[in-house]
Amino acid sequence: MASGINKSFLKWAGGKRTSLPMINANMGYIEDDARLIEPFVGSAVVSLNIETFGYIIADLNEDLIKLFDYVKTEGEEFIRYCEGFFTSANNNEDAYYELRRQFNCAKDSRARAALFVYLNRHSFNGLCRYNAHGFFNVPYGKPKKVGFPIKEMRFFVNRMRNAEIYCQGFEETMAMAKPNDVIYCDPPYVPLSDTSMFTDYTSEGFTMDQQEQLAKLAEESECRVLISNHDSDITKELYKNADDIKFREVGRYVGASKESRKPVKELLAIYNAR
């Protein structure tokens, strides 16, 4: 990627850093008073790389949204608090599992948010996954050295000063849009096979009914809407009423084996304002 890309301070499975050129090229003209709305914000890398009047970022992952809230509202004080967990003594397997235990037992939301940053940077491939009881269960990633993302966190503070941040579903978030806004959606992808599904960044999955509802809302929206997903027969049918669809190959980085990391095809469905 070009050096001008603004990185997120979070690692994120399915992050859109490599997809930014295609997303940016299809944003269309953004009015001076427009907001970028992300109902599935993930690592927020798209918002961090598109400058607009304002932002609405949302997700159903409460840990993610509370973290973003603390970074935005407390700024440098919270950043330094997070940095305190990034020590050489904590860069090992025993420390990781102890801090993961503390995270899962934490009652204090501020401590839990800071531990989320630590877990994200030390866990396997930056996965965010919970078990049926709502406990974060990603294994240790065995990193050789982990740098604290202070530059990226400070950039988030500066870029998101005017952001509205919500823990809510995509229906509620898309309903907040005004005609000049642009909506970018990065939902959990439709699986390419029965064994490839990864939707556990919340304790609930994402159903095909929800995929269909998202496409319906995009069709009816008064805003320009962009949706990323796998390129498959299912998604081509889902987005058959889109005004345009763009395609690209993207590297897959979640799998542990070389075979699971081969490039896959991704699409971007584009809906013009109605």
CA distance 197 to 189: 8
CA distance 69 to 217: 27
Helical ranges in 58-138 per DSSP H: 62-74, 76-83, 93-105, 109-122
**The pLDDT of residue 249:** 86
Helical ranges in the chain per DSSP H: 20-25, 45-48, 62-74, 76-83, 93-105, 109-122, 150-159, 170-174, 208-220, 233-238
Residue 45 and residue 186 in contact, taking contact as beta carbons nearer than 8 Å: no
Q: For the chain, what is the radius of gyration of the CA atoms?
A: 18
**The pLDDT of residue 258:** 54
Specify the fold of 20-61+162-271: Rossmann fold (3.40.50)
**The pLDDT of residue 263:** 76
**The pLDDT of residue 73:** 97
**Segments of the chain scoring below 70 in pLDDT:** 1-3, 193-204, 251-262
**The pLDDT of residue 201:** 44
**The pLDDT of residue 18:** 86
- Among 75, 12, 72, smallest CA distance to 41 is for 12
**The pLDDT of residue 260:** 54
**The pLDDT of residue 196:** 47
pTM for the whole thing? 0.90
**The pLDDT of residue 257:** 52
Domains 20-61+162-271 and 70-151 share a fold: no
**In the chain, where the domains are located:** 20-61+162-271, 70-151
- The yes/no answer on whether domain 70-151 falls in CATH 3.30.930.10 is no
CA distance 202 to 229: 18
